[in-house]
Structure 1
Amino acid sequence: MTPGARVAAAIEILDIIRTGAPAEAALTRWARGSRFAGSKDRAAVRDHVYDVLRRWRSCAALGGAEDGRSLMLGLLRGSDMDPAALFTGDGHAPNPLTDEEKTAGDAPQGVVAADLPDWLWPHWCDSLGAQAGAVAEVMRHRAPVMLRVNSARTTREDARKALQDQGVISRTSDVSPTALVVTEGARRVALSEAYASGLVELQDGASQALVDELSVPKGSAILDFCAGGGGKALAMAARFGAPVLAHDAIPARMKDLPARAARAGAQVEPVDIDTVRARAPFDLVLTDVPCSGSGAWRRAPEGKWTLTQARLDELNATQDAILDEAAALVGASGVLAYATCSVLECENVARVAAFLTRHRDWYLLRDRAWLPGSEGDGFFLALLAKRQQ
């Protein structure tokens, strides 16, 4: 495919997304109907689509409308590229620009330039203060590809060398002693022997740093209560050299966890809620709760546009309920770890404060927040403990 044809494909997919289709579903539908597209073509089209999703409002402003063609026009203008060089009508490229399109669009201002919904902007500013604009700008760009080195299997330097031998270039990161940032060959990671043999896992840097903040005595009982795919459960098993129970309210999310654990040589056991209750109490319960995902919108930018105030209120209620349920699973001298991949105060410190109001026999040990940046997403962690009688 020519560069222009890739732009045309992105326009087609964006128009499907505008009808309400999830981005991944639209991309998959296009790929299945476009067998002529090679892996590099599919990757390039995907990048176009996700770049627009991160910058939807500013692309629409620069392009003059919200249809796929205008959005891609706005993306190119915002990237200091000449749209006329790709809108040629040749080789399946989009038709040349009309006279109206040549003059359409305005420079985005305010919340439009920040690429956030109007209703969310006050929450964003209240939560991030003077950093609100800078964090919004970070979220308009691609996230780093990061790896967690499996410390149970290898060292960070040996893993980096093994990856390099397989065409994946990386550098060490200060965010965590297990973190690598991939600088070249990111799409080769999943095909590499280092990945297949469990030396590395794909995991965000701040997610790794969050696990670094946890500690337990030897022989402790550990539970990942909202395990999802199990990334943090695997990281805890490697960090502590101990078995970890993993539970999720939607068990299907953990379907790949047994294979991942076997590959990593980790003792991680997926369990249902009855087993969790039967094996309580635990010395450490991690609750990485469902949230807005606002700290990771670079990776899943649709979340910026589908989140509503009503949905945020629902999430806050769910977060409170999970904290209450998890607290009952913690032993007398244990620790409850509350985590989100959110930068919104209403999901972070406000939920901890509400929990402490409901549970006067608990107190905050410490909390920490990570903002989205060059070495990780936005995360929040609070460590809670029971007051001793």
Structure 2
Amino acid sequence: MTPAARIAAAIEVLDAVLAGEAAEKVLTGWARGHRFAGSGDRAAIRDHVFDALRCRRSCAWVGGADTGRGLMLGAVRLAGGAPEEMFTGARFAPAPVGADEGGESLEDAPEAVRLDMPDWLMPPMAESLGDDCTPVLEALRRRAPVFLRVNAAKAEVAEARAALAEEGVSTRPHPLAETALEVTENPRRVQGTRAYREGLVELQDAASQAVCAALPAGPGTRVLDYCAGGGGKALALAARGAEVVAHDADPRRMRDLPERARRAGVRIETVATEALPSAGRFDLVLCDAPCSGSGAWRRSPEAKWRLTPARLRELQEIQMDILLRSCDLVAPGGTLAYATCSLLAAENDRTVAAFRAAAPAWRLVDQRRWTPRDGGDGFYLAQLMRDETDPP
């Protein structure tokens, strides 16, 4: 495919996403319907789509319309290109640029447009991030690095790096976690490497690894990953020797976990919601709660545009319910850990404060926040313990 044809394909995909479809689903469907497109074409189209979604407002402003075509016009202009060279109307190329498609200068745009944020989110972001607000929001406009976690149950960091390098995947250690490697060359080859197939490494954000490293888990520690999802944190904790039980309100999210655990050489038991009361109590209960995902919008940019005030309130209610349900599963002297990949205080500090008001026997012993300025995704972690004088 020509560069112009790739832009035309991205416009098609973006129009479907803007109409409400999931980007990954649309990209998969497009690829199946266009078998002639090679892996390089599919990768380029995907990059166009996600780059435009990260910078949707600024692209639309510069491109003249909040449409697939407008976003790609804006993306080309913001990258310093000349749309007239791609939008030619030639075979498979987008139609020529019209007189009414000039767009506006980004210098004249409101702050929320320049930072690619919904208007309503600017005040809570500013309140949550303080002086970090502008640089963090700028970071969310760029692609996220690809990170790997070295599986301590199978390999040392140097061994994993050497195995990856043998197949052309270059990495470097990242300071957020001892197990974290940032992929610096050929990230799309990772899942085809021996190191990945044999469980020496897993894909996991560096800040997510830092969350796991901060938790009191090790050999003999009984851990419940209450909102396990795909099981990334459960695998990281099991690699440290913890006895991990995984649970999710929707068990389908854990469908790949048994195979991932087998590949990693660890054992993770899964438990259904109805079986939790008979599962006993745990030294550590981790609640990696559903949230806005605002700390990871570089990876899932469409979520930024679909979040609403009503949905944020609904998420806060879900987070509170999870904490209230899970706290009774913590053994005496154990830890209740609450984590989100959110940058918003409404889902972090305030949720923990609301929980402590409802359950005053729980005291906050530690809380930490990571933002994209640290290199990884945005994460929040709070660790709580029950007052020992309070009966379980």
Do they fold alike, i.e. is TM over 0.5? yes
Q: Is the 8 A contact 1:348 1:380 kept in 2?
A: yes
Is 2:310 the partner of 1:310?
yes
Farther off after superposition, 2-11 or 25-34: 25-34
**Residue in structure 1 matched with residue 130 of structure 2 by the alignment:** 129
Distance 1:25 1:287 in 2: 28
Distance 2:73 2:150 in 1: 40
**Residue in structure 1 matched with residue 105 of structure 2 by the alignment:** 106
Distance 1:331 1:185 in 2: 45
**Residue in structure 1 matched with residue 243 of structure 2 by the alignment:** 243
CA deviation after TM superposition for structure 1 residue 91, in Å? 4.1
Q: Is the 8 A contact 1:2 1:91 kept in 2?
A: no
**Residue in structure 1 matched with residue 161 of structure 2 by the alignment:** 160
**Residue in structure 1 matched with residue 58 of structure 2 by the alignment:** 58
Distance 2:280 2:9 in 1: 53
Could you give the per-residue CA deviations for residues 2-47 of structure 1, whole angstroms, max 9, x where no partner exists?
A: 1111001001111122222111222122111111100010010010
**Letter paired with 1:208:** Q
Distance 1:93 1:15 in 2: 16
Q: Is the 8 A contact 1:225 1:326 kept in 2?
A: yes
Is 2:75 the partner of 1:79?
no
Q: Is the 8 A contact 1:31 1:42 kept in 2?
A: yes
Q: Is the 8 A contact 1:245 1:269 kept in 2?
A: yes
Distance 1:104 1:326 in 2: 51
Q: Is the 8 A contact 1:52 1:75 kept in 2?
A: yes
**Residue in structure 2 matched with residue 352 of structure 1 by the alignment:** 352
Q: Using structure 1 for the length normalisation, give the TM-score.
A: 0.97
Distance 2:119 2:29 in 1: 31
The share of aligned pairs that are identical, in percent, is 53
Unaligned runs of at least 5 residues, structure 2: none
**Residue in structure 2 matched with residue 339 of structure 1 by the alignment:** 339
Could you give the per-residue CA deviations for residues 75-97 of structure 1, whole angstroms, max 9, x where no partner exists?
A: 11111122122222334111222
Q: CA RMSD in A?
A: 1.2
Distance 1:192 1:365 in 2: 41
**Residue in structure 1 matched with residue 67 of structure 2 by the alignment:** 67
Pairs within 5 Å for 1:142-221: 142-216=143-217, 218-221=219-222
**Residue in structure 1 matched with residue 270 of structure 2 by the alignment:** 270
Q: Is the 8 A contact 2:217 2:237 kept in 1?
A: no
Distance 1:218 1:16 in 2: 48
Q: Is the 8 A contact 1:363 1:384 kept in 2?
A: yes
Could you give the per-residue CA deviations for residues 50-73 of structure 1, whole angstroms, max 9, x where no partner exists?
A: 111111111000011112111100
How many pairs align?
387
Unaligned runs of at least 5 residues, structure 1: none
CA deviation after TM superposition for structure 1 residue 376, in Å? 0.8
Farther off after superposition, 85-94 or 10-19: 85-94
**Letter paired with 1:261:** A
Distance 1:32 1:264 in 2: 31
**Letter paired with 1:117:** P
Q: Is the 8 A contact 1:242 1:267 kept in 2?
A: no
Indicate the SS of the match to 1:99. coil
Could you give the per-residue CA deviations for residues 269-304 of structure 1, whole angstroms, max 9, x where no partner exists?
A: 111123322122111000000000000000001111
Indicate the SS of the match to 1:119. helix
Q: Is the 8 A contact 2:218 2:242 kept in 1?
A: no
Distance 1:12 1:48 in 2: 11
Q: Using structure 2 for the length normalisation, give the TM-score.
A: 0.96
CA deviation after TM superposition for structure 1 residue 242, in Å? 2.7
Could you give the per-residue CA deviations for residues 221-252 of structure 1, whole angstroms, max 9, x where no partner exists?
A: 1110000000000000012x132000000000
